[in-house]
């Protein structure tokens, strides 16, 4: 199913929809394209989808409408299947990248083969998923291509990280019943790198959906991106599934002191004992109970370094004096302009050039004199 046919899902029958013609209805935004929103209505017999615009007032007050939002719809036109969004109801959760509201959990999909798992990349995705504060369900696809030794290895590995992966095979229909159980009656966001079988899994879970499946690049052994927008699909057993664009390296844009909470191993250590300092970053502080020889500690240090660099960069951008200079014009006008790197752009003065030349001349004379001696 694509955006182009979302608004004609119920068009098999040509009869006019008979619904409660009240002025106010509620529904869920299942897809967004430009300034149009596909809203699946609730509390109606067949839950039709309306193509909606939004009130100009929402735009004026800066109210975004994103996939997953529960909204109030006015002026439904049942013949044309159109409506107007007049209000966004309170959200219980929100993700920024990708923008999804009211999600309950993240289904993180990685492949056991084609492409094989990169531990560092998997760790990065897991930390990003943990930072959402949603429940994380880890799924390892293409299990039919992996040996029992490989599957045992990753079970022990990930158990040490604090996760119990679900091994699935879309081709052989392995593990799909467990996935269906975990997704039932929940709003789930599917995430993971490209080429691991997310689209194939969704096609299997929701037979009425046809998502384009991409191949894996033979040269780079990485998946090609196939999903280009966020979209919610209804599961046969209840619940909604959000397919999101695949990407290879999530950003590490966390607050440094909060990063430790995104590692189950660290949470377990701190539940037993506490560090000497409340603001411990678990790097080189004395009395730290986290620092030590455990598998993902190097990952934590790398991510912490990135988080500190990101925070420093953001602090500089938020401080006008750090990257901007105040320039005053005539009639009392003043504005900020970019501050140039003086070391890079300032020309060397004549005095400095003469001193440099004299210093170079003295060095040459001393060298010649030492050669003569």
Q: Mean pLDDT lowest for which of 129-138, 190-199, 210-219?
A: 210-219
Same domain, 27 and 160: no
Q: How confident is the model at residue 111 (pLDDT cuts 50, 70, 90)?
A: very high
**The three-state (H, E, C) secondary structure of 32-91, written as one string:** EECCEEEEEECCCCCCCEEEEEECHHHHHCCCCCCECCEEEEEEEECCCCEEEEEEECCC
Q: What is the pLDDT of residue 66?
A: 94
In a domain, 236, yes or no: yes
In a domain, 190, yes or no: yes
In a domain, 108, yes or no: yes
Domain ends where: 66, 90, 114?
90
User: What is the total count of domains within the chain?
Assistant: 2
Q: What is the pLDDT of residue 5?
A: 46
Same domain, 37 and 117: no
Same domain, 237 and 128: yes
In a domain, 153, yes or no: yes
In a domain, 44, yes or no: yes
Q: What is the pLDDT of residue 342?
A: 47
pLDDT digits (tens, 9 = 90+) for 137-189: 999 999 999 999 999 999 999 999 999 999 999 999 999 999 999 999 999 99
Same domain, 237 and 106: yes
Check pLDDT > 80 for residue 44.
Answer: no
In a domain, 115, yes or no: yes
Same domain, 142 and 193: yes
The span from the CA of 130 to the CA of 139, in Å, is 15
| pTM of the predicted protein model | 0.72
Q: What is the pLDDT of residue 210?
A: 62
Same domain, 83 and 109: no
| Residue 315 burial (CB count, 10 A) | 10
Q: What is the pLDDT of residue 340?
A: 54
Task: List, as own/partner pairs, every contact residues 148-155 make where C-beta atoms lie below 8 angstroms and the sequence separation is at least 24, other chains included.
Answer: 150/112, 150/113, 151/112, 154/112, 154/117
Q: Mean pLDDT lowest for which of 22-26, 282-286, 367-371?
A: 367-371
CA distances from 69 to 9, 87, 266 (A): 20, 10, 34
Check pLDDT > 60 for residue 1.
Answer: no
Check pLDDT > 90 for residue 301.
Answer: yes
The span from the CA of 266 to the CA of 272, in Å, is 10
In a domain, 306, yes or no: no
Average pLDDT (112-123) is 92
Domain ends where: 90, 109, 138?
90
Same domain, 108 and 39: no
In a domain, 140, yes or no: yes
Q: How confident is the model at residue 245 (pLDDT cuts 50, 70, 90)?
A: low
Q: In CATH, what number is assigned to the domain containing residue 44? A: 2.40.50.140
Q: In CATH, what number is assigned to the domain containing residue 126? A: 3.40.50.300
Average pLDDT (275-279) is 91
Same domain, 22 and 133: no
Same domain, 109 and 176: yes
Domain ends where: 225, 243, 261?
243
Mean of the per-residue pLDDT values of the chain: 80
Cis peptide before 203 (omega within 30 of 0): no
Average pLDDT (22-44) is 84
Q: How confident is the model at residue 252 (pLDDT cuts 50, 70, 90)?
A: confident
Q: How confident is the model at residue 225 (pLDDT cuts 50, 70, 90)?
A: very low
Q: How confident is the model at residue 194 (pLDDT cuts 50, 70, 90)?
A: confident
Same domain, 121 and 73: no
Check pLDDT > 70 for residue 339.
Answer: no
Instruction: Judge contact between 54 and 100, C-beta under 8 A.
Output: no
Most confident of 13-17, 132-136, 312-316, 348-352: 132-136
The span from the CA of 8 to the CA of 31, in Å, is 14
Domain that holds residue 44: 3-90
Same domain, 117 and 80: no
228: its two tokens: 């280009």
Same domain, 157 and 212: yes
Q: How confident is the model at residue 10 (pLDDT cuts 50, 70, 90)?
A: very low
Q: How confident is the model at residue 26 (pLDDT cuts 50, 70, 90)?
A: very high
């Amino acid at each position: 199913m694509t955006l182009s046919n979302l608004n004609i899902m119920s068009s098999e029958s040509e009869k006019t929809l008979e619904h409660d013609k009240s002025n106010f209805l509620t529904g869920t935004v299942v897809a967004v394209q430009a300034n149009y929103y596909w809203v699946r209505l609730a509390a109606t017999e067949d839950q039709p989808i309306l193509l909606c615009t939004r009130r100009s007032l929402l735009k004026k007050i800066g109210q975004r409408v994103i996939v997953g939002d529960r909204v109030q719809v006015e002026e439904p036109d049942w013949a044309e299947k159109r409506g107007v969004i007049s209000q966004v109801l309170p959200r219980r959760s929100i993700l920024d990248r990708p923008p999804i509201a009211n999600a309950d959990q993240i289904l993180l999909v990685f492949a056991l083969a084609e492409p094989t798992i990169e531990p560092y990349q998997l760790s990065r995705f897991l930390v990003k998923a943990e930072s959402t504060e949603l429940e994380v369900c880890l799924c390892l696809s293409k299990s039919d291509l992996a040996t029992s030794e490989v599957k045992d290895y990753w079970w022990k590995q990930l158990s040490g990280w604090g996760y119990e992966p679900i091994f699935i095979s879309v081709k052989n229909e392995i593990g799909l019943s467990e996935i269906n159980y975990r997704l039932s009656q929940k709003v789930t966001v599917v995430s993971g790198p490209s080429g691991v079988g997310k689209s194939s899994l969704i096609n299997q879970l929701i037979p009425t959906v046809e998502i384009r499946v991409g191949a894996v690049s033979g040269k780079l052994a990485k998946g090609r991106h196939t999903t280009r927008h966020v979209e919610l699909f209804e599961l046969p057993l209840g619940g909604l599934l959000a397919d999101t664009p695949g990407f290879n390296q999530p950003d590490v844009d966390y607050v440094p002191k909060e990063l430790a909470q995104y590692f189950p191993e660290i949470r377990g250590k701190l539940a037993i004992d506490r560090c000497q300092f409340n603001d411990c970053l678990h790097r080189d502080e004395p009395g730290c109970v986290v620092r030590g020889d455990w598998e993902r500690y190097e990952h934590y240090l790398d991510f912490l370094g990135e988080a500190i660099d990101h925070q420093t960069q953001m602090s500089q951008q938020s401080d006008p004096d750090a990257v901007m200079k105040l320039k005053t014009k005539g009639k009392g006008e003043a504005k900020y302009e970019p501050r140039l790197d003086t070391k890079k752009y300032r020309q060397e003065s004549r005095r400095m050039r003469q001193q440099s030349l004299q210093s170079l001349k003295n060095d040459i004379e001393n060298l010649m004199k030492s050669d003569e001696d």
